[in-house]
Chains A and B, each alone.
Chain A
């Protein structure tokens, strides 16, 4: 009987299997990369209700992070400042600037400004700022050089793996707690020794078990 399929048809199942494997691998890679916080979260730079520039305030004017985010050493949140903090200066400064209209309106109407949250962990992960500051983790380690940002963007992925990288080896990421808000600090030559002493004296042992963050 005449052959329905030519010899070259033998290649088809081979090609199909290879395509399926490639597709599966491609799919896995697709979700591994595009689904990871490194892609979905890092670089997030939403538009805020007020066009606030950290570069101007924290960078050029040199205002310390903790002037506005004043609860960061006591609270687990680093708080967004209430409108009153802005008005501390802006009741006198920039009274003619249109960009400050929402701030003045908020203060006059007692309606808070609704900022868009950038650095967001899932609700089942509980993070505590005050403990990290106590341990000497600088703002720049997780938030990047905010003092250079016109618009704040998320720099680090803040994924659990990324957190664990530091928790497993905190040394390179620690500095004297007095320097945590210093955007230009560089580690001195004896940093390694200093870290050893510092961690021992202050009982700094970043937990690696689940109960640290997951309640």
Chain B
């Protein structure tokens, strides 16, 4: 059997020897042995005389062979595609679904290889911006540990075999209407998925379909359905909201539609002058989220107390003259530590901003909370102003009750065939359902997923999935706008998409994803010409005319009352409350084998490569815990062991457990990173869990963080003020440090012609999400160094986000400051390089010439901002071939011993200048965007030519809030910051 067979792995397509093709036992033995010389030694011993003479001659010739230049090949096309220009990247639009929403992407492809992701400006959920999940997903495409083959009970199989087997099984289901057939799928907003599901039930009316996701908006949709009587999706307009109240929610980073929510919030927050107004954000939460970090007022409450808070708030609103429908159905609630003054202040603000406020709750809150919140928003006249609802009949939402039912059915023998269309089913399905035991009871099981796990050997078919960037599909964003997902590259290992598998199951024959999607879109396009509409939708990445309609909302009081009767609120939280959250880096676990994400510091804790049980300062003290102490969390008969990390500002008696770590797969990145928290997460308590007992076990774990301390060491690096202080002294930021008129020892350069690049970062908009960090890492081939090296401070991020605490140890304020090379005009690093490897160019950039660097590291020593990163080891030479495909060919890949740092995306600057020059014009404002600037969801980063008086960068730099970090050192950095403003409520000033 030739190993050039199409269905085999990509590796085997390239054979190094005939022996490999034959794959005889001798070759296998040879291939396994890393140092085969040992074998030859035994068979052909070398005498001492021969050895010496060989060595001598080799030495003599060694010098000559060293002069041989390596042969490089140029391999052109046989038949080049028309209009393809080598060296110029191509940009294609696609989308990335995440749960029930989706984000539009524009992917940069170099010679057919996707390399960088940006947000699609035309897509309503991206508007050109991105979040760190979108940016990191490119590395998931090139994951070397992704499944590469189809297996049958652990033995290698093929799509053809699966197709043949299914054709036989299908005859059985055609007769009995699909009885015993169950599909377990993920949440989806895909129109094609919806169409195929309808076809599925037409073909198999007696079959079952269960949707389940470990992290989902199920409660939100459920609450809205109860309160409105319809299946609706919320679309928020944060830019229109003047007062925002977020309850155990993280709308700017972790919740659905976070990109546009963050952008809207930043727009509402932006202030053009002392007479301008800005929005006000109240956050009540158990953990510390970045939404909480942006809050003007923050209250620490347990997750289980949010219902109490909401009812108290509703009552306060009613006492101010608004009727909250269905409020009477909610009985007595406990005040506990909920500050009534806080509630009153929030209520006053909400009442005075009717129609311009927004109250939101997170996905962990029970349906009753969401129903009440909808009622509150309705009473505050926010519906169709700051929040609108679109019809959501078409989406698949996770359903925990249905999953429970499915497992019960399996145990009762009602299921004989199960098709699992989701990743990590074993890791994400709550352990108390004992899914592995159940799977053994089913006659036939099939799975389509990205990686093999512990159940793969049991399955009749474990099919490897094609990554989203390599498959055809479609999705809708929360306002219903449909978008086509088109592949950037063929599935790397001939994986299959979920639509292709579904098609086979329904129709018994294989169909290309392309045709399946086109079939769906025949009904989506309104216009006459399908082909024209299709081409335009493919080009734009979105079909705006397909937006779903806005639905009016009328609160169904009776339904809410009935729900409360069936599911009464139990708020007797005792013991330690455990809150399960999606992680800021790995989300629900889908990014756990992604090196960038593991090394991305958590925005609040700055932990890398691990998750931790997050605990408040006071609770830690009470239990005698320090950072790294292992604890055992017991809930009933179940327990888990996990080390703690103290997060100042968290609510007391609450432990936050981030999901997605400690998966039982063999991914080389995720192995050994973090701790699984699934051991106490039951199907009935997937959000939060009270009544647990916490005991210190005595073991200790060493965490790696990129920022151990939250202190600015006495220097005003982040400057912030309250809105009143700003109005009194608009230039307060400049006044915090006295910068005298400094003279230089030498004649300074005049940077007065051509392009002079500068950057401005608005701390009032920066939410600390880290999208810039990942975007920079993706664009500039920044290596991943691993936990041990990062612990020494050797992480390579060119753009990092510093997080500083400020204030009371129990509830401090947090400030974020993105820090990258400031490109100082009087750069201290340039002055000390012994070999002039770092120089200043005519456009104001501090340039790094890697091949000249000899690794003295004096430049990093001299850098006041400590933004220079050194390659202590060769982090890239042992990257798998597959991972190297993610590298950007426009940027040099650095080897061991060279210094690197932010270059203001020099490759993009050169490309932009080149395009302008070839077109005979100058670079326009906004044409040149650095990777960090383009990714930032809140437009906090501005970049451009500071000599262009009309550019947005000059406007930002001329703002009164502008200041330069460490300006007193006479470094003349080209990067400036705009001070942060807080908008506290005067009634809550203590």
Mark A residues whose CB is within 8 Å of B: 34, 40-41, 44, 46, 71, 74-77, 79-84, 106-107, 110-117, 120, 122-124, 126, 128, 130-131, 134, 203, 207, 209-212, 214-215
B85 touches A75 (CB 8 A): yes
Q: Which of A71, A124, A210 is in CB contact (< 8 Å) with B892?
A: A124
Contact with A along B822-859 (1 / 0, CB 8 A): 00000000000000000111110101111100000000
B78 touches A110 (CB 8 A): yes
Known: A81-B76, A82-B77, A112-B78. Contact between A215 and B69, CB under 8 A?
no
A126 touches B78 (CB 8 A): no
* B77: chain A residues within 8 A (beta carbon): 82-84, 112
* B841: chain A residues within 8 A (beta carbon): 207, 209-212
Nearest chain A CB to B485 CB, angstrom units: 29
CB interface residues, B 895-950, toward A, < 8 Å: 903, 906-907, 909-910, 914, 917-918
B88 touches A75 (CB 8 A): yes
Interface assignment of B714: CB less than 8 Å from any CB of chain A: no
- Which chain B residue shows the least CB distance to A107? B78
Complex CA gap A40/B66 in Å reads 11
24 contacts between A and B (CB under 8 A): A71-B85, A74-B918, A76-B914, A81-B76, A82-B80, A83-B76, A107-B78, A111-B78, A112-B75, A115-B73, A115-B75, A116-B73, A117-B71, A117-B72, A117-B74, A126-B890, A131-B918, A207-B841, A210-B847, A211-B906, A214-B849, A214-B851, A215-B907, A215-B910
- Which chain B residue shows the least CB distance to A78? B86
Interface assignment of B809: CB less than 8 Å from any CB of chain A: no
Known: A75-B85, A75-B87, A128-B914. Contact between A117 and B73, CB under 8 A?
yes
- Which chain B residue shows the least CB distance to A84? B79
* A130: chain B residues within 8 A (beta carbon): 914, 918
A77 touches B69 (CB 8 A): no
Which range holds the interface residue count of chain B?
35 or more
- Which chain B residue shows the least CB distance to A214? B849
Complex CA gap A114/B75 in Å reads 5
* A210: chain B residues within 8 A (beta carbon): 839, 841, 847, 849
* B75: chain A residues within 8 A (beta carbon): 112-115
Contact with A along B59-102 (1 / 0, CB 8 A): 00000000101011111111110000111100000000000000
Q: Which of A44, A114, A134 is in CB contact (< 8 Å) with B69?
A: A44
Known: A71-B85, A211-B841. Contact between A79 and B76, CB under 8 A?
yes
A131 touches B914 (CB 8 A): yes
Q: Which of A76, A80, A106 is in CB contact (< 8 Å) with B87?
A: A76
Interface assignment of B891: CB less than 8 Å from any CB of chain A: yes
A211 touches B847 (CB 8 A): yes
- 6 additional A-B residue pairs with CB within 8 Å, beyond A34-B67, A122-B851, A210-B849: A207-B842, A209-B839, A209-B841, A211-B841, A215-B892, A215-B910
Q: Which of B75, B78, B842, B845 has the most CB of A within 10 A?
A: B78
A134 touches B78 (CB 8 A): no
Complex CA gap A215/B78 in Å reads 31
A40 touches B891 (CB 8 A): no
- Which chain B residue shows the least CB distance to A34? B67
Complex CA gap A34/B66 in Å reads 12
CB interface residues, B 775-798, toward A, < 8 Å: none
A214 touches B69 (CB 8 A): no
A112 touches B851 (CB 8 A): no
In terms of DSSP, what is the predominant structure of the interface of chain B?
Answer: loop
B85 touches A84 (CB 8 A): no
* A40: chain B residues within 8 A (beta carbon): 67, 69
Listed from nearest, the 6 A-B pairs whose CB atoms lie closest are A209-B841, A82-B77, A211-B841, A211-B847, A82-B80, A117-B72
* B848: chain A residues within 8 A (beta carbon): 214
A106 touches B78 (CB 8 A): yes
Complex CA gap A114/B71 in Å reads 11
Complex CA gap A120/B891 in Å reads 17
Complex CA gap A124/B894 in Å reads 9
* B892: chain A residues within 8 A (beta carbon): 123-124, 214-215
- Which chain A residue shows the least CB distance to B888? A215
* B850: chain A residues within 8 A (beta carbon): 124, 214
Nearest chain B CB to A198 CB, angstrom units: 14
Complex CA gap A83/B842 in Å reads 43
Nearest chain B CB to A200 CB, angstrom units: 14
Complex CA gap A210/B841 in Å reads 7
A134 touches B88 (CB 8 A): no
Nearest chain B CB to A157 CB, angstrom units: 13
Nearest chain B CB to A106 CB, angstrom units: 6
Q: Which of B67, B74, B849, B890 has the most CB of A within 10 A?
A: B74
Complex CA gap A124/B853 in Å reads 12
B87 touches A113 (CB 8 A): no
* B903: chain A residues within 8 A (beta carbon): 215
B843 touches A211 (CB 8 A): yes
Known: A40-B67, A126-B910, A211-B841. Contact between A114 and B73, CB under 8 A?
yes
Q: Which of A74, A75, A203 is in CB contact (< 8 Å) with B917?
A: A203
A83 touches B847 (CB 8 A): no
Known: A74-B85, A131-B918, A215-B890. Contact between A80 and B74, CB under 8 A?
yes
* A113: chain B residues within 8 A (beta carbon): 75-76
Nearest chain A CB to B846 CB, angstrom units: 9
Nearest chain B CB to A39 CB, angstrom units: 9
* A44: chain B residues within 8 A (beta carbon): 69
* A80: chain B residues within 8 A (beta carbon): 74, 76
Complex CA gap A82/B918 in Å reads 25
* A76: chain B residues within 8 A (beta carbon): 87, 914
Complex CA gap A75/B906 in Å reads 18
Q: Which of A76, A112, A122, A210 has the most CB of B within 10 A?
A: A210
Complex CA gap A106/B72 in Å reads 19
- Which chain A residue shows the least CB distance to B77? A82
Complex CA gap A74/B918 in Å reads 8
Nearest chain A CB to B562 CB, angstrom units: 65
* A117: chain B residues within 8 A (beta carbon): 71-74
Complex CA gap A122/B849 in Å reads 13
* B79: chain A residues within 8 A (beta carbon): 82-84, 110
Complex CA gap A75/B911 in Å reads 11
Nearest chain B CB to A175 CB, angstrom units: 18
* A75: chain B residues within 8 A (beta carbon): 85-88
- Which chain B residue shows the least CB distance to A111? B78
Complex CA gap A124/B898 in Å reads 13
Complex CA gap A87/B891 in Å reads 35
Complex CA gap A46/B71 in Å reads 9
- Which chain B residue shows the least CB distance to A135? B917
Complex CA gap A41/B76 in Å reads 23
A77 touches B76 (CB 8 A): no
* A112: chain B residues within 8 A (beta carbon): 75-78
Nearest chain B CB to A78 CB, angstrom units: 9
Complex CA gap A107/B892 in Å reads 34
- Which chain A residue shows the least CB distance to B81? A82
* A131: chain B residues within 8 A (beta carbon): 914, 917-918
* A79: chain B residues within 8 A (beta carbon): 76, 86
Nearest chain B CB to A44 CB, angstrom units: 7
Complex CA gap A43/B577 in Å reads 76
Complex CA gap A123/B87 in Å reads 14
Complex CA gap A210/B890 in Å reads 16
- Which chain A residue shows the least CB distance to B846? A211
A134 touches B917 (CB 8 A): yes
Known: A74-B85, A124-B892, A131-B918. Contact between A211 and B78, CB under 8 A?
no
A124 touches B86 (CB 8 A): no
Known: A124-B851, A131-B914. Contact between A215 and B906, CB under 8 A?
yes
* A46: chain B residues within 8 A (beta carbon): 71
A77 touches B845 (CB 8 A): no
Complex CA gap A123/B888 in Å reads 13
* B891: chain A residues within 8 A (beta carbon): 215
B86 touches A77 (CB 8 A): yes
* A203: chain B residues within 8 A (beta carbon): 917
Complex CA gap A74/B903 in Å reads 25
B88 touches A211 (CB 8 A): no
- Which chain B residue shows the least CB distance to A202? B920
Q: Which of A76, A83, A106, A120 has the most CB of B within 10 A?
A: A76
